[in-house]
Amino acid sequence: MNEQSPLNGKITVIGIGENGYDGLSAIARQILETASVIFGGKRHIAMLPGSNIAIQNSWITPFEANMPLIEDCLDQNPIILASGDPMFFGVGNALVNYFGSRSITVIPHPSSISLAAARMGWALAECDVITLHGREPEILRSHLRPRGRLIALSADGSTPALVAVMLCEAGYDQSQMTICERLGGTQERITTQTAQTWQSTATSMPEVKPVDPLNLIMIDLVAGPKSRVLGNGAGLPDDAFIHDGMITKSEIRAQTLASLAPWRDAMLWDLGAGCGSISIEWMRAGGQAIAIERDAKRCDLIGKNAIRLGTPNLVIRQKAIEDVITFADQLPTPDAIFVGGGITTPGLMDRCWDILPMHGRLVANTVTLEGEEELLRFYNKNGGTLSRLSVSRLVPRGSFRGWSNLAPVTHYVGVKV
């Protein structure tokens, strides 16, 4: 279903906290008292008073399988119980995506994230908030920065130990980790110690009380002497990536990313991805990306770089660039396309241009005369901008130093209007 699909009833999503039924607002309790059908997790269903006579349905796995069951009950105005604020990393988002927003009412409760910020006196608007529940934990790496504050929803009780390991590996071992368990309830527990201490305790003292699965982690980041600070701006150092020489050099990469103009959730196709530097930096700026590379070894490098630089959700396709012409319909529509290789492939540039929606960006780099000829042809046909980028780097010259010129790069930028 979607936003335009008419519903025969109303879905009400009620957020509930660790303080249970008694912590709900009067209107939320009134709705539950008159409900015919209720869906929710077993823990939330158990919080209802024994007098509730509604049909109670616990979630089944996978979560998507619950949607048709809810749909079958629409004429009974089903009630959904959810943790805290259902629209903040909660089930409310999935429900709206499936049923549309017009027939869904949400009654939020303070989220565990809000409660944690209140307990610690942290300004929530100044923190990075991520969820590691159902996500690759390595996304945390892209949020590491000196003096940063990070709040991470855990997948389960093992997540804090895993986070401690990643922090220590990145040189952030003195960062303060505060583990908040079952916030808002009678079993609330808050524990603070350094990542280094947490890692040591988790491995050497298994008798310590385990962390409750319902926890979140507040991290006061401290960059130690062994940490390497990598910004979210374009142009990471070349040696931040594992590569075999096939990499867009940092100075050229910075200009290329500026020309691609990434924004939150925008989709990039990175054609001839090499070691994945362009698509990884695009994702670190908030976008989504698909890296297309024909060489299997380089695809492996892309995967390793994506994990170590905090973009584990980068989609990697081992395909020849020529295949883009034939399998493009199987991929999400791109907001931008970067052609880093294969520019002389017949019809490639024109096909990429046709695929792009309005305001879509096509950016291409080449170091060959043949590639330059193709970009000039395409520029004359479609407009845009064509420039030549030159970079010189200081290198040793015996006992002296001198400038070494990198190969000039012809750089094309086109915006579809």
pLDDT, tens digit, for every residue of 304-341?
999 999 999 999 999 998 888 788 888 999 999 999 98
Give the position of tokens 């209802």: 48
Contacts by 347-350 with C-beta closer than 8 Å and gap 24+? 348/271, 348/321, 348/322, 348/324, 349/374, 349/375, 349/378, 350/378
> Is the pLDDT reported for residue 204 higher than 80?
no
Instruction: Delimit the domains of the chain by residue range.
Output: 11-109, 114-220, 238-415
- 336-339 and 361-366: which strand pairing? parallel
pLDDT bracket for residue 2 (50, 70, 90): low
pLDDT bracket for residue 7 (50, 70, 90): low
The answer to whether domain 114-220 has CATH 3.30.950.10 is yes
> Is the pLDDT reported for residue 8 higher than 90?
no
SS3 of residue 333 by DSSP: coil
> Is the pLDDT reported for residue 3 higher than 60?
no
For residue 83, the model assigns a pLDDT of 95
CA 305 to each of CA 29, 280, 300, 308: distance values in angstroms, whole numbers, following the listed order: 50, 8, 9, 5
Stretch 198-213: mean pLDDT: 77
pLDDT in tens, 389-410: 999 999 999 999 999 999 999 9
- CA-based nearest residue to 172, from 233, 231, 228: 228
Stretch 341-358: mean pLDDT: 94
Q: Kindly report the length of the chain.
A: 417
pLDDT in tens, 98-152: 999 988 999 999 999 999 999 999 999 999 999 999 899 999 999 999 999 999 9
Q: What tokens were used for 179? A: 């583990």
**Domain covering 11-109: architecture:** 3-Layer(aba) Sandwich (3.40)
> Is the pLDDT reported for residue 72 higher than 90?
yes
For residue 352, the model assigns a pLDDT of 95
pLDDT bracket for residue 5 (50, 70, 90): very low
Q: Is the dihedral of CA 42, 44, 47, 50 positive or negative?
A: negative
pLDDT in tens, 231-245: 888 999 999 999 998
- CA-based nearest residue to 127, from 108, 145, 109, 154: 145
For residue 206, the model assigns a pLDDT of 59
> Is the pLDDT reported for residue 198 higher than 70?
yes
Mean pLDDT comparison of 89-93, 101-105, 174-178, highest-scoring range: 174-178
Residues with Cβ < 8 Å from 380, sequence gap 6 or more?
none
Burial class (CB in 10 A: 0-12, 13-18, 19+), 324: buried
- CA-based nearest residue to 276, from 244, 245, 295, 298: 298
Q: Using an 8 Å Cβ cutoff, are 122 and 218 in contact? A: yes
The span from the CA of 366 to the CA of 374, in Å, is: 10
- CA-based nearest residue to 154, from 180, 128, 124, 173: 180
Burial class (CB in 10 A: 0-12, 13-18, 19+), 394: exposed
> Is the pLDDT reported for residue 365 higher than 90?
yes
Mean pLDDT of the chain: 94
The span from the CA of 272 to the CA of 162, in Å, is: 34
DSSP state of 408: P
The span from the CA of 337 to the CA of 271, in Å, is: 7
> Is the pLDDT reported for residue 96 higher than 80?
yes
Q: What tokens were used for 416? A: 């579809």
For residue 53, the model assigns a pLDDT of 85
> Is the pLDDT reported for residue 208 higher than 80?
no
> Is the pLDDT reported for residue 6 higher than 50?
no
Burial class (CB in 10 A: 0-12, 13-18, 19+), 125: exposed
The span from the CA of 283 to the CA of 314, in Å, is: 8
CATH superfamily of 238-415: Vaccinia Virus protein VP39 (3.40.50.150)
> Is the pLDDT reported for residue 288 higher than 90?
yes
